[in-house]
Amino acid sequence: MSEDINNNVAIIEEAAGWVFDDWFPLTRQGLTEADSAGGLRGPGIYDIGLEEPLSQIHGESRIFYIGVAAGQKPSDNGTLLRRLAEHINNGGEVEKWLRMHGSERRILARTAKSESAAEAHFWVRMRFRWFIEQFWQFPIQNRRSVPGHPMDERELRAHIDQWRSEAYRRMEPSSGR
């Protein structure tokens, strides 16, 4: 990795401060075991991936989807448990393809629990940017949700400030949420 990329990745990791739990099989049993202490009953972000890394434009990553559990819809109570359970039943295009073709590859997940829905929304933007900085693309199952162009440190820090302010503005009672 170049010095600029290493620097941007470090800036993102420091700004976000997320801590991911270990990978677990994305199955009913795996999800039950991962939630054995009830830790997945709140907001946060998650990665879905495979045991073996996938080739990216630049390097390899086992992550093919980055998600957020933070009450995106009024009917969604914003828990990691609920969002990951939806992936077990259905999931995105890559997950469906793997299941349809009886792939031997195990689908895995890992989570980072947040203090609030607003923090989770901030974290997911940071997670996308973290992925882009390292692999020069979005995860294959995600749609574009943050700028995908190369950024210098100044522009990256400006985006972080903007995303943080948008996320925490959602927490204010006057925002109507």
Structural tokens at position 3: 């010095």
What is the distance between the alpha carbons of residues 40 and 166, in angstroms, rounded to a whole number? 25
**What residue segments make up the domains of the chain, in order of their start?**
3-172
Tens-digit pLDDT profile for residues 136-159: 999 999 976 666 677 788 888 888
How many of the other CB atoms lie within 10 Å of CB of 33?
11
What pLDDT, in 10s, does the model give residues 33-44? 999 999 999 999
Residue-wise pLDDT for 89-138, tens only, equals 788 888 888 888 877 789 999 999 999 999 999 999 999 999 999 999 99
